[in-house]
Amino acid sequence: MRCPYCSDSTNRVIDSRLGREGSEIRRRRECLECGRRFTTRERIDGVMPKVVKRDGRREEYQRQKLIAAVQKACEKRPVSADVLERLFDRVERQLQEFGGREVTSQVIGERVMEGLIELDVLAAARFASVFLDFQGAEDYSNFFASVANTKRRGGPDR
Running DSSP on this structure, what letter comes out for residue 142?
Answer: H
Q: In 3D, which of 66, 28, 27, 30 has the Cα closest to residue 43?
A: 27
As a whole number of Å, the CA-based R_g of the chain is 19
Question: Is this structure's pTM higher than 0.95?
Answer: no
The yes-or-no verdict on residue 113 having pLDDT over 50 is yes
The yes-or-no verdict on residue 157 having pLDDT over 70 is no
Alpha-carbon distance of 16 to 25, in angstroms, equals 7
Pairing of strands 50-52, 102-104: parallel
Each residue's pLDDT tens digit, 131-152? 999 999 999 999 999 999 887 7
Judge whether 87 and 115 are in contact, CB under 8 Å: yes
Each residue's pLDDT tens digit, 60-78? 999 899 999 999 999 999 9
* Residue 22 confidence class, pLDDT cut points 50, 70, 90: low
Judge whether 73 and 127 are in contact, CB under 8 Å: yes
The yes-or-no verdict on residue 18 having pLDDT over 90 is no
Q: What percent of the chain has pLDDT over 70?
A: 92
Instruction: Determine the 3-state secondary structure of 61 from DSSP.
Output: coil
